[in-house]
Amino acid sequence: MSWQAYTDNLVSSGKIDKAALYSRAGDSLWAQSSNFQLDPKEITGIAKGYDDPSDLQAHGLHVQGQKYMLLRADDRSIYGRLDAEGVVAVRTKQAILIAHYPAGVVAGEATTVVEKLADYLISVNY
C-alpha cells in the first residue's frame, strides 16, 4: 500500500476531512490530502512537541496558519481544538500522522480513527 492510501483512508472514514503523513522528524512529507499543506515551521513544532511540549503549551498548536488550543501533548499524541473543529497528530516509530476533523464530528470519533491507524503502523514497525 502506498503512503497516500493511508491519508486517503483517514479521509474516507468520514470523520477526518484532511490528513498528512510525515517522517517522524517532520522533515519529509510522505503523503497528504490535496487540501492539507503544513508550513515547515508548523510540522517542526509538532515534531518537537512530542519530546518537549512546552512551546505548544505556551503558544498553541499551529496548523495551516490557524492556532489551535492545545488539549493534549505527550510522547505519542498531540490534540488541538479551534471552536468546533480540531487536529490530531500521532507519532509512530517512523512517522507522524496529522489529521483535521471538521465541525460536526465528535472529537473522540476522529481521534479513534487516527489512533487506530497509528497502532497499525506501529504493529508493522512503522
Going from N- to C-terminal start, the domains of the chain cover: 3-124
Q: Residue 101 corresponds to which cell in the numbers above?
A: 476533523
In the chain, the largest separation of any two C-alpha atoms, in whole Å, equals 38
Stated pTM of the model: 0.94
Scan for cell 473522540, then name that residue: 108
- pLDDT of residue 1 exceeding 70, the answer is no
Ramachandran class of 14: left when φ > 0, alpha when ψ lies in -120 to 50, beta otherwise: left
Q: What are phi and psi of 109, to 5 degrees?
A: -70, -40
- Secondary element (H or E) of residue 96: strand 95-101
| CATH 3.30.450.30 assigned to 3-124 | yes
pLDDT attached to residue 29: 96
pLDDT band at residue 34 under the 50/70/90 scheme: confident
* 100-110: average pLDDT: 96
> Position 45: which residue type?
G
* 98-124: average pLDDT: 97
